[in-house]
Every structure is written in C-alpha cells, then in structure tokens.
Structure 1
Amino acid sequence: MLGQIVSVNVGKPKELIYKGKSIQTGIEKQPVDKPLLLTKVNFVGDGQADLVNHGGEDKAVCVYPFEHYAYFSSEVGLSLSYGAFGENLTLLGLTEEKVCIGDEFQIGEAVVQVSQPRQPCFKLAHRHDTKDLPLRFQETGYTGFYFRVLSEGVVSKEDSVQFLRRHQDEITISYINEVQYKDKSNKEKVKKILRVPFLSQSYQKTFMKRLQLLEKQN
C-alpha cells in the first residue's frame, strides 16, 4: 500500500464569528511547499485551538483523502483548495476502507501510526457555510483519520507514504465509522474495536461507554 502526498497544510488558530459568537479555531490550513518538522504533537507551524477535542499525541496529524474532494465539489457544490477540511495532509491512495487502526507508515524522516477516524465538528459547517456538512461526513464515511507520530522527522510534499506494518485485527477506519454512526447497537462489533490496542484513548472511552450502555440494555 503506497500513498502520495498531494498537499501539506498548516495553520495557527484564529478568531472567527459563528452564529454571532467569537470562536477560536485552527481549521483554516494553508498549503506549504517547504519541508516541515513533524513532532509528536504536530507539524511545526501548525496549531489547534480546542485541545480537548483536537490535537495531542493521538491526533497529531489530521489526514484527509484527496479522493473525496470530487464528491464535495460536485455533489455539495463547495469550492475547494487543499486543506479545505482542516487536514494537515491531503493524501492520495489511503482511503478509509483501506487504512486500519495501527497501520504504520514512513513519511519522509517520520514514522506515523493510524490512531482513529476524524470526528467532523460544527467548524466544518462554519468554514464552508454548509449547515449539514458534518452530517454528510458521517453519512458518506468520508471522515478522514488521524496519525500519531512514533518517530519525529522532516516531511516534505515530495515524500512518498510507505506502508510499514499492520496490526493483526485489521480494523479499518470505515469499519469504525459504520459502528460509530450507523450500526450503533452491535455489541460484538464494539468489542472487536476495543480489542485493538492502538486505538486512541478518546475512542476507547467512547466505545467503552457504548459497550456499558448496551450491556445494561441486555
């Protein structure tokens, strides 16, 4: 499995007005051509405003598949540039049905690992003035995903994304999205997801709460 970097995108948090209220958000990323150091928590030059729901070691790099740009351009009517969905890496060849939790990749000097799906939030709707955009992410499964950084290093747009290894359970991002948003009451699938040791802490908590609720119902 080989991925290609279409764009590297970074941006610092800035103030925006949403429904008459001021919010801080780092969703507005801009493409950069120069090599950047990827640290354990982000690319140098990048930042997140809401560190409860974004950022941290489990969500150091937000990834979005280039393949989905066509859908949001043609079906939703959005005018898009790279980084449009707040992603740090716009990648070709690594979609949600191909990528599994725990997959490791070499990107330039850095080694990264898939940790969880991306959770679409209201700031996507605000940025593109499209109220149902987060819901469309959920319904299509075109969520993107996150990398944690196992080994820091310099990354450039010209670098390839080389697959290194995969966890034996092979739980794809698409599988998790299906259980998260559609097949919510499937206890066995929830248990299967929780058995993957490389799932982010926040998603472990989410699915543990789901499992506890389902067991109470039975």
Structure 2
Amino acid sequence: MGSVTAFVLSTNLAHPRTDPGGADRVSGIDKRPAPSLEVFAPGPSYGDGPGVVGDTVGDSAHHGGAQKAVYAFAREELDHWERELGRTLPNGSFGENLTTRGVDLSRLLINQRIRIGTAELEVSVSRTPCRTFAGWLDEAGWVKRFSARERTGAYFRVVVPGTITAGDELVLVDAPGHDVDMLTVFRGALGDKEAARRIVEARCLPQMYHERMVRLTG
C-alpha cells in the first residue's frame, strides 16, 4: 500500500429513508458520519441484516448477511466522482460504512484479513450497483458509468467483533495464498470469462458466489 498509511477517514451509519430506486421499502443507502461503529458477524443469509449495530438494510434479498456485513469505499474514489459529476460527495455518499484513505480497495486480495480498531475484518465480495444506488445518485446512466470505472469498494465479513473509529489504521494480516483481488472478482461478475476462470481455480469465494463463477465460465 506504499508509504501512505491506510486508515478509516469516516465511520458512517444509515439514516433510513424511502428507497430512492422506487421500491416499496426502507433503504439504508443514506449513510452519514457517526462517532464510531460496533461491528459483529450477522447470520449467513442476506435477510440476517447488517454487521453494524444500528445500521439498516432495506433490500434483504440482496444485502446484509455474513458476506456483506460491512461495506467500505475509498475517499479517493469519491474525490474522482466529485470531479466527474461536478458535485460534492460527503463521506458516506455511496452508502459505505467505512470511508477509507490510503488504500486501493480494488486491489485487496479476497479473504485478506484486516485489523481495524479492535475489530478484524476479511475481504469478502464485490458490490453490484443497483437501482437503489442509481436512484440515490440520480445521474444518467449511473450503473454503467460506475461499473465502467471498476472501483466499486469492498464488502467485508467480520472475523472478530469490535469497535471501529475514524482515524483507525487498516493493518493487513495473514495474506491469502492466491492473487485474486476485488477488481478481478468484479470483472468476473460482469462476465469476464478469464477473470471467472481465475476465481474458480483459486476457490476463494464463498460457495454461492463460487458456483456463480463456475456458471460464468461455461
């Protein structure tokens, strides 16, 4: 990660609101800075909710659960989109629990463990931009634009529950024995067969996601 220390710039919690994508449900995409986050390991299913105390998951068919317990997005990428869109994007604008600085989240290896505050997280799966996100940003062709950038942040599972506070350093521990990063997983999810093949060979994803990649290689 170079000479720049990677750290949490902001910890963010949902302010529940009507789903901006038009669905008849509450959404937790409106994240705003909070003093700290208490993270824990939720159950395995999406419907088991977030891994952050006091957070909100609206789309329980696709979000929440152990593999999507905590979501992080880089301040550097928010800065990029501020320039591209010509608008201010405060920390939490992309629905992230953790706004980071000093780390390229797209290059983190799947299953890499990271110690943050008193918690320990593990890089899990990629984000798939959805209608709620598009409605929230309210930018023409947003899903395609965001996907083309390929820097979609990272979901984490919680290995050790604990407290995360703004300013906490991201410390990488126990590197996995493969070279599949978040960028590769996102490309595989979009249909890149070579990326999907690498992911399948590494067997680094949870079973449900692994099976999806197997189908994509066919």
The two structures share one fold, judged by TM-score above 0.5: yes
1:210 aligns with 216
Q: Which whole-Å deviations, capped at 9, do the CAs of 1:181-204 have from their partners, x for residues lacking one?
A: 3x6233xx3232023444234422
Sort the Cα spacing of 1:130 and 1:111 in 2 relative to 1 into closer, same or farther, 3 A. same
| Percent identical residues | 27
2:74 is the counterpart of 1:73: no
Partner SS for 1:117: coil
TM-score (norm 1): 0.86
Matches of 2:108 and 2:193 in 1, distance apart? 24
Can you list the C-alpha shifts for 1:146-192, whole angstroms capped at 9, x where unaligned?
010001011111311111121111211112223333x6233xx3232
**Structure 2 residue 32 is the aligned partner of structure 1 residue 5:** no
Name 2:147's counterpart in structure 1: 138
- In structure 1, the partner of 2:39 is 38
Query: Structure 1's 96 and 202: CA in aligned 2 closer, same or farther, altered over 3 A?
Result: farther
- Distance in 2 (CA, whole Å) between partners of 1:137 and 1:202 is 24
Does structure 1 retain, via aligned residues, the 8 Å contact 2:41–2:157? yes
1:39-95 Cα distance to aligned partner (Å, 9 max, x none): 113111112011221110000001101111122111122321110000100111222
Paired AA for residue 4 in structure 1: F
Code of the residue aligned with 1:204 in structure 2: it is: H
Match of 2:176 in 1: 167
Residue aligning to 2:200: 194
TM-score, length basis structure 2: 0.86
* Contiguous gaps of at least 5 residues in structure 2: 43-50
2:111 paired with 1:109: no
Which of the two has greater strand per residue?
1
Q: Counterpart of 2:164?
A: 155
Q: 2:45: which partner in 1?
A: none
Tell me by how many angstroms 1:205 deviates: 3.2
Distance of aligned partners of 1:204 and 1:99 in 2 relative to their CA distance in 1, 3 Å threshold: same
Shift in CA distance, 172/141, structure 1 to aligned 2, threshold 3 Å = same
TM-fit CA distance, 1:12 = 5.0
- What letter matches 2:37 in structure 1? L
**Aligned-partner Cα distance in 2 for 1:141–1:194:** 20
CA deviation digits over 1:84-125, x for unaligned, max 9? 000100111222443110110101111100011111111111
Q: Provide the alpha-carbon RMSD of the alignment.
A: 1.9
Compare 135-144 and 191-200 and name the one that shifted more.
191-200
Q: Quickly say closer, same or farther: Cα 1:198–1:148, change in 2 above 3 A.
A: farther
Tell me the matched-pair count. 207
Residue 114 of structure 2 aligns to a residue in which SS? strand
CA contact (8 A) 2:121 2:156 kept: yes
1:185 aligns with 2:184: no
The structure with more radius of gyration:
1
